[in-house]
Structure 1
Amino acid sequence: MQTDIPTTGYVRQAQLVGSIVPVSPSTLWRWVNAGKFPKPIKLSERVTAWRAEDVRAWIEAQGKQEAA
């Protein structure tokens, strides 16, 4: 699953929902607003993306929580 995420750079919402993060877009934004998922970066007026490093770190943290 994590192989779909670049090592560096940015990941758009369409790349995240469904495959990398198995939730709907509305759930993703609810998590962002609640502080459960990293905040995105505004690349331009109409383009929002997440840093790939932040998404990878979030996925790793989720795995550690499940193992505990």
Structure 2
Amino acid sequence: MAEGEDNRVLHATQELVTLGLAEPILIGRPSVIEMRIQKLGLHIQAGRDFEVVNNENDPRF
């Protein structure tokens, strides 16, 4: 999902993972995504529940 650092996207990712509906791919900075997950109190983890594509160092961007 684009805007992987957005709180709404992170909440949606939590719901998708909890319900077993998808294995999301988030686009964003891994450190920012992890910080926001902790701040929001979510129970998801990059690498386990979803993949992160870092648009700052990925040649596709």
- Give TM class, smaller chain: 0.3 to 0.5
The structure with the larger Rg is 1
TM-score, structure 1 length as denominator?
0.33
TM-score, structure 2 length as denominator?
0.36
